[in-house]
Amino acid sequence: MCSSTPEHADVETASEAYARRFTGAVGAWFLETQQSATLHMLAPYRAATLLDVGGGHGQVTAALVAGGYRVTVFGSAECCRRRVEPFVAAGTCRFESGDLLRLPFPARSYDVVLSYRLLPHVAGWRQLLAELARVARHAVLIDVPTRASVNRLAPWLFALKKRVEGNTRSFRVFDEQEVVEVLESAGLAADDRYAQFLLPMALHRALRAPALSSTSERAFRAVGATARFGSPVILKFVRRHP
């Protein structure tokens, strides 16, 4: 079944329509920013086993495979494998499917568990975080749209976002601390964070000026504005007692 109900929230992000949001020079810049931060956070875990939950979008698959990580992408349905199928066929990545909220893996069965573009669309987000933590041996990486950013204006900006992106959907915005508390209760500790952009991604798409976008974002980062108000934020948590 390939519906996009909350229990199958990754079906849309694994689609070709969603991938088109990241085409062109601006899209490539978005993905490069995400990949660079991810590889930096993963540096202590060379050649680690890595479970990418909801990772059928394939946004970091190539970078993870090239970095020597032993990657399994997990989706809620078989149709979520389409964008990572070339890696599966080449034997550089595995794909499995099942219940996002009841991962079919033993506790601490993967060195690192990663999940991007998923948490804001899952109704049972606390249960999802608990499952990510349960399966991780050493670390969990997630991305979170935070309320301490322009996302405070999300209800008013949604119409503009939909005009720019076409197939956007509503999403939950988090207080970062509420995410930290759930994962801390599961035995993990906040270890690193990287806020990706100060300005809304939809605005950068609308501008279609990657040089201007990257220059402005570098300036915001240099003065500390992005670290304080940027979003989405990639958060890294590590197990307190390995």
58-91: per-residue pLDDT in tens? 999 999 999 999 999 999 999 999 999 999 999 9
Please determine, for residue 101, whether its predicted confidence score (pLDDT) is greater than 90. yes
Residue 39 has pLDDT above 70, yes or no: yes
Q: Rounded distance, CA 152 to CA 135, Å?
A: 32
Per-residue buried b or exposed e for 125-134, using 16+ beta carbons within 10 Å of the residue's own CB: bbebbbbbbb
Q: What is the pLDDT of residues 140-166, one digit of tens each?
A: 999 999 988 665 555 545 555 555 555
pTM equals: 0.90
> At the fourth CATH level, which superfamily is domain 6-146+169-195+231-239?
Vaccinia Virus protein VP39 (3.40.50.150)
In the predicted structure, residue 190 carries a pLDDT above the cut 50: yes
Q: Is the pLDDT of residue 238 over 90?
A: yes
The answer to whether residues 215 and 121 touch, using CB atoms and an 8 Å cutoff, is no
| Phi and psi, residue 213, nearest 5° | -60, -50
Which residues lie across from 140 on neighbouring strands? 113, 237
Helices (H) and strands (E) in the chain, counts: 11, 7
| 125-135 helix and 176-185 helix, angle to the nearest 10 degrees | 50
Residue 156: its pLDDT value, please?
47
Q: What is the DSSP letter of 93?
A: E
